[in-house]
Amino acid sequence: MSERAFRAGVVIGAAGAAHGESVAYALSNGVASAVAVLGIMGGGFRAVAINLVAGEAAIGYALAHSASRLVIVDATSRALIESALRGPSFQEFSEGRPPPALLDVGELATREVGRAPPASMHRSPSPDDDALIMYTSGTTGRPKGVVLSHANLAAGGDNVARGHGLGVADRALCVLPLYHINGLCVTLMGPLVSGGSVVLPERFSSTRFWHWCAKHECTWFSVVPTQVSYLLQAGETTVRLPSLRFGRSASAPLAPAVHRDFESRFGIPLVETMGLTETAAQILSNPMPPGARRSGSPGLPIGCDIRVVDVHDSECPSDVDGELLVRGACVMRGYFRDGAATRAALTADGWLRTGDLGRRDADGFVFITGRLKELIIKGGENIAPREIDETLHTHPDVLEAAAFGRPCADYGERVEAAVALVEGADVDEATLIELCIDRLGTFKAPERVHVLDALPKGPSGKIQRRRVAEQCLDRRQGVSSSDAS
């Protein structure tokens, strides 16, 4: 692998990229994709992760904003990238720069480079050099480019290896794309740091997942909560995989009811964790079995320091909500070409303001209760959307759930929610509202529960409540318009 990655870096340099320049990758998963990513970084270039499902506008923006010199593509992504480069988003933000050249991923192994390229084209990077830009979608505005150094990525991989006790005998199943921080830093960097191996199917499949685990004798996997729900709905009742010692869930909160159902059905420990793009993935993890875990908690700090603070940045007592702050070797350098956002996110002494609300119990376990910008404030009372999400998830027909606030003249905001249901479910809105009233009381229960085919998500797989609320409003206005006609 190291020889193939080195050669890929030489080809990228010979294709016109200079040391330190941005080189984007727009690739489906596979061995060739891993070689490309490692070749970009190892060659001394800055890798730019392109989310293939983000839409042409977001892709065009990322390619323009990152000033990418090359884009490594495959047969499935070439047309999409070509279209994005012709689109208005790239033209608006490219600042007159010509579009990047496209390089097929297959050429990294086959292209003739002639004599060895000049040293300036291929120099070994230093730990503090930029290694990666990964764009994250915030609640408003343009995506921000998170800049992670080589040292950040190594620290992120080490946090995974230490948190899960990974070694050379471990083999990961990577079913999250390498443009996802979980796929890249957890399931690729974790094994690289620990000397293990990785299985890289092109994409997630709930019907083939357990077959892959068995065929390749995988010892662990990393998934997001939506994939956990899909595995529960795929029809498998039991699995017998003696090599598989654990799974991990991250990138979004795992509802306790879904967690219990998974472990009860499959008999495989599912370790809940938490990470951010800005921290090269994992910062919290529950202990590995047989250690005591906390249902509903992403666990204890791994390889970093954690604080929970109030609005004055004073430490909150146990079991009191505040903003989660993180500091450690995994924390990003900043946001690319965005000094204002960097200063807002990073304190002078290196603490990252995550924007997550949470609390710590007496044993140090962290519980995430929501996002600062997503709190529903009804009649002056704060309501955490996650509490409503978890209640809706207790219904067996609910696959995904997201609560949100809607402006209201009487209370300031009222509570609504959206759900995606399992195939063939016939549960109605009234039943779900009554479930919330029974568990949470009338004040916190949603007044409306919208049923969608799927809930919109960002690049990291997290459900985006703002887009959920917009989609529900659009559907309601569409119904009202058709009724009026």
* 138 has pLDDT over 60: no
Q: Please, are residues 231 and 239 in contact by the beta-carbon 8 Å criterion?
A: no
Dig out the tokens for 418 from the structure.
Answer: 């959206």
User: Looking at residue 115, which CATH number applies to its domain?
Assistant: 3.40.50.980
Using the structure block, give the residue that is written with the tokens 């047989």.
290
Q: Which of 37-46, 215-224, 418-427, 454-463 shows the lowest per-residue confidence on average (mean pLDDT)?
A: 454-463
pLDDT above 90 coverage of the chain, percent: 76
pLDDT digits (tens, 9 = 90+) for 430-462: 999 999 999 998 999 999 999 999 999 876 677
140 domain-assigned: no
Strands 171-174 and 220-223: parallel
Question: In one letter, which amino acid is 354?
Answer: T
Query: For residue 77, what are the domain limits?
Result: 2-125
Residues 408 and 305 in one domain: no
Dig out the tokens for 412 from the structure.
Answer: 């300031």
* 273 has pLDDT over 80: yes
Residues 356 and 385 in one domain: no
- Contacts of 235-242 with C-beta under 8 Å, sequence gap 24+, read 236/210, 236/265, 236/266, 237/265, 238/265, 238/266, 238/267, 239/210, 239/213, 239/266, 239/267, 239/268, 241/210, 241/213, 241/214, 241/268
- Positive/negative CA dihedral, 157, 341, 325, 350: positive
Residues 326 and 350 in one domain: yes
Q: Which of 71-75, 120-124, 148-152, 350-354 shows the lowest per-residue confidence on average (mean pLDDT)?
A: 120-124
DSSP H or E run through 406: strand 398-408
Measured in whole angstroms, the distance separating CA 28 from the mean position of its chain's CA atoms is 16
Residues 294 and 331 in one domain: yes
* 482 has pLDDT over 50: no
pLDDT digits (tens, 9 = 90+) for 315-324: 999 999 999 9
pLDDT digits (tens, 9 = 90+) for 97-131: 999 999 999 999 998 876 555 554 556 789 999 99
User: Looking at residue 443, which CATH number applies to its domain?
Assistant: 3.30.300.30
Residues 85 and 192 in one domain: no
| Contact partners, residue 222, CB within 8 Å, separation at least 6 | 172, 174, 175, 176, 182, 183, 186, 187, 247, 248, 249, 250
pLDDT reported for residue 172: 98
Q: Please, are residues 324 and 310 in contact by the beta-carbon 8 Å criterion?
A: no
pTM of the entire predicted model: 0.85
Residues 338 and 396 in one domain: no
pLDDT reported for residue 141: 62
Distance CA(141)–CA(48), nearest Å, equals 20
Question: In one letter, which amino acid is 328?
Answer: G
pLDDT digits (tens, 9 = 90+) for 206-229: 999 999 999 999 999 999 988 998
Residues 119 and 197 in one domain: no
402 domain-assigned: yes
pLDDT reported for residue 481: 41
